Amino acid sequence: MESHKNGLFIPESYTIYITSPAGERCDCQPLSALHRAPGSDPENASEIAPVTPATQELQRYVRSRLAALFPRATPLSVLLIHISQLDHVHITPKTLVLHKRHRYHAPGGFLEQVLINVRRVMRNTDQVILHEGTGAAIILPDVDQEGAFNVVERVFHSINLLQPETVIPPLKRETDITIGIGSYPRPGKSLEELLFHAGCVTHNLTLRPAVNAQLRMGKASAEIGTGQTLDDEPGSPAKSRHTSGIPYMQLPARLPQSLKRLVPYRMACELRCAPVGRDHNRLTVAMAYPTDMEAISRLQSATSMVIFPVACEISELDAMLAKEW
C-alpha cells in the first residue's frame, strides 16, 4: 500500500537516505522534548540517562513518517541507532583534567557496514530512515513491546559481530554505537512518549581502533635499537620506547586514590601498568606493553570499564609501581 502526505510519495516499505558531510562535530539532540523537560514524563524524564540522540534532519523525517501512521489501532515500535566518534588527544596529566574530548560524526561507509549487520535480523517490511554517518531509525510495524525487546537483542548481538579489524577502512577513532527502542501503545501512550522511550539507551557498544599486525610491526621496528625482539615475553626486561599507533603520555608525579582503587596493586605490578585517568566508563591506563590485548582484556574484566592504553617511559612506570597502594 502507498500513501501521500503533503504531496510526498511515501511507500509502506522503504529506505530514506539523508546525506551529511563526514567528520562534522556531533551536536545531536534527544529525539523527544520530554528528555529535556523534567517532570513532563510520569516516570521522571530528568533521571533517564544516557540518551540515544539523533540529528535534527533525522528527527524531522522520523516525526513526519510517524505522524502519517497515527492514529492507529495496531502496535508500532521504533528502533534508534546513533554513532559518534571521539577525537584524538595527546594525553598529558594536564589534559586528563582539563580537556573534554569532542564527538564527531562517523564516515558514511561505517554506518553502512553497521546496517549490513542490522538488516540480517530485520524484516523486509521494516522501514529504515538513514542519516549518513550519524545513525538510523527503523520503524517496526505491528511489533509490540515484547517483540521490540526481542528485536533489539538480536540487533545488538548482530552489531557485536562487527569487530574493529573487520571495518573497511580500519577505524581510526574510538567509536560509540548506542541503541534505543520504544513501543506503542505500551509504554508509549502517544507519539511523543513513543519517541521518548525510543531515545532511552538500551544498549551501548564501543569499538576501539584495532591493534593489528601493522602496529606490531611498528613495535618491532621501535624495539630494534633496544635489542628486544617481537617474540620477547611481556615479563621480560624492557627499555623506554614509544609504540607506533599508541598515544604517548608523560606520567604524573602521583596518582589520586580514586584511580588507585580501580586497579589492584598486585594486578598493576603483574601487568606493568597504572591507571592514570578516567572519563566516565573509560579508564586510561599507562602500560609497559600497550598492545598486549590479553592484559587489556584482564583490565577490562576487572574494572568493567573500557580500557584506553597509552605508552609511557618505562622507568617512570617502574618508579610509580615501586610504591604500593
144 and 238, same domain (yes or no): no
Cα radius of gyration rounded to whole Å, the chain: 23
- Average pLDDT, stretch 155-166? 79
Mean pLDDT across 184-191:
87
Look at residues 207, 233, 249 and tell me which one is the last residue of a structural domain: 207
**Per-residue pLDDT at 233:** 41
State the Cα–Cα distance between residues 322 and 315, nearest whole angstrom.
11
Identify the pLDDT of residue 143. 96
Does residue 39 sit in the same domain as residue 161?
yes
pLDDT of residue 213: 34
pLDDT at residue 167, as a whole number: 76
193 and 61 share a domain?
Answer: yes
Is the model's pLDDT at 297 over the cut of 50? Answer: yes
For residue 202, what is the domain's CATH number? Answer: 3.30.70
More confident residue, 39 or 215: 39
- Extended strands (E) in the chain: 2-5, 8-11, 15-18, 29-30, 53-54, 76-86, 103-104, 127-131, 135-141, 175-184, 201-207, 273-279, 282-287, 306-310
Average pLDDT over residues 43-64: 76
Together in a domain, 221 and 267: yes
In this structure, are 234 and 190 located in the same domain?
A: no
Same domain, 62 and 142: yes
Residues whose CB is less than 8 angstroms from the CB of residue 176 and which lie 6 or more positions away in sequence, other chains included: 83, 84, 85, 86, 103, 204, 205, 206
- Per-residue confidence (pLDDT) for residue 281, from 0 to 100: 77
Record the cell numbers describing residue 206, joined without a space. Answer: 564501543
pLDDT greater than 50 at residue 231: no
Q: Is the pLDDT of residue 185 over 60?
A: yes
Indicate the residue among 187, 207, 227 that finishes a domain: 207
Does the N-terminal peptide bond of residue 256 adopt cis geometry, omega within 30 degrees of 0? Answer: no
Question: Is the per-residue pLDDT at 244 higher than 50?
Answer: no
On whether both 183 and 96 belong to a single domain, the answer is yes
- Please, what is the average pLDDT of the chain? 77
Q: Worst-scoring range by mean pLDDT, 16-30, 115-129, 234-248, 249-263?
A: 234-248
pLDDT of residue 100: 63
Long-range contacts of 8-17 (CB under 8 A, 24+ apart): 8/64, 10/65, 10/68, 12/125, 12/127, 12/141, 13/124, 13/125, 13/126, 13/127, 14/127, 14/128, 15/127, 15/128, 15/129, 15/130, 16/61, 16/128, 16/129, 16/130, 17/130, 17/132
199 plus 254 within the same structural domain = no
Q: Same domain for 150 and 20? A: yes
What's the pLDDT score for residue 124? 86
Q: Is 194 a residue whose pLDDT tops 90?
A: yes
pLDDT of 215 reads 39
Domain that holds residue 189: 2-207
The candidate with the shortest Cα–Cα distance to 273, out of 236, 245, 312, is 312
316 compared with 242, residue with greater pLDDT: 316
Q: Check whether 238 has a pLDDT greater than 50.
A: no
Residue 92: per-residue pLDDT = 55
Average pLDDT over residues 267-292: 89
Per-residue pLDDT band for 10 (boundaries 50, 70, 90) equals very low
Cβ atoms within 10 A of the Cβ of 160, count? 13
Residues 156 and 305 in one domain: no
**Domain stops at, among 163, 191, 207:** 207
Per-residue confidence (pLDDT) for residue 94, from 0 to 100: 52
DSSP for 106-122? PPHHHHHHHHHHHHTTS
